[in-house]
Structure 1
Amino acid sequence: MEIKKNPKSNLENYSKIFMQIGLVLALFITFVAIEKKTYDKTIGDLGVVNMNALMEEDIPITERVIPETPKAPPPPAPEKIEIVEDEKEVEETIIESTETDETVAVVVEEIVEIAEVEEVVEDVSFMIIEDVPVFPGCSGDKQELKDCFSRMVQKHFTRKFDAELPNELGLSSGKKKVFIGFKIDRNGNIVDVNARAPHPKIKDEVIKVMKLLPKMKPGKQRGKPVGVKYSIPFTLLVE
């Protein structure tokens, strides 16, 4: 007799379902195992630590102490106090009135004008004078006037001086130096003539000749006429 199975009771038909259920269970168990938390064992309960309390530190409030300067001891009291009677008389100060009394005549002092003293310019050397003295007949600029002045003085000396005088005095032959100096004053006159010569008679002759120079246009310094000093050397030839 052949035993026939009920097709519904055949478990092979549900094998796929069982396999899926098993797979779902395995995944669930694995998920639970992964998500499970573990904690380390602790010994006792130390309580809760307040970090803010530890960070707060009590800073004591200090005050600056200023050292006291020792005071000087008071002066000793006098042994005996003498009472002096104030008998000194006080002089009263009389304040005079500054108001002018109409009945009193006012004397006005005469104002004396003081004449302004004109500045006196000393004599100036011919070499540094601003406006040189002008010899009659000379013209041109400052340098030309200087050259013309020296040339005309030499010409005057050569024409007026007695050339035979050195030979008459018996001087030794040769060249003899003569130094002449004079001043052209503020009016253009020749004054203060002096000379240095090898013989007194030659000196007198030189002074006489230089005093014969003509009147000149005076030199000026800062626009004012001044005395101008001039000096020149001459050479005399004695045969």
Structure 2
Amino acid sequence: MMEAKKKEHLKLEKNSGLYFVIGMTLILALVYTALEWKTFDSQSEWDTSQTILKNLDEIPPLTIQKLPPPPKPKTIVTPEIKIAENDDDVIEDLIKSTESDSNKEIITLKDVDFEEPAPVVDEVSFMVIEDVPIFPGCEGADDKRACFQEKMQKHIRRNFRYPAEAQEMGLQGKVYLQFTVQKDGNIGSLKLRGPHKILENEASRIISKLPKMEPGKQRGQGVKVPFSIPITFRLQ
């Protein structure tokens, strides 16, 4: 068999290390050049001139204004001085004293009667108000206070509903409530206190069905009138 002859000067393995170093040097040079490469946008002379012309158009034109003429100097009038002759009688005015008269009696605060203004009444209790609120149907009653209380009891009995949930839980007791008949006759400012929220909600529902009333009056002026009443929840 014939063996392939190799020429010593054509062997690439002999200089592979040198070729590797040269290749790495070229690659690093290209990478550095790419990173350091900078470009700038060129601006044409035409764009610059257009910007300058645009700025010149924004400058307002010069205007010449005429100033008004200066005011004329005022004429100074010299007062005429007359010298009185010695024979003229000079009338002197008496100078009144500004000091207080020590003989005049000084009035003390106790001697002056001050009338205290009547207090502004905004709310009066149902038990002491002069004209109680009128429940619908009590307009012709002789005792409107008693009629109001009677109508309230009838309203509670007519609208009373024992909540089923309260019956299942065995809830019972009294719900103390207070509401206010406002100056316009509407019901407002409801306050409740009871053994359970379910019973309080039922009492609130009953009061919400109250009709509009004629407002109470104190000294002929409409005022707010608070009214308190308990609602009893009792299981049979």
What TM-score does the superposition give when structure 1 sets the normalisation length? Answer: 0.46
Larger radius of gyration between Structure 1 and Structure 2: 1
What TM-score does the superposition give when structure 2 sets the normalisation length? Answer: 0.46
Structure number having the greater helix percentage: 2
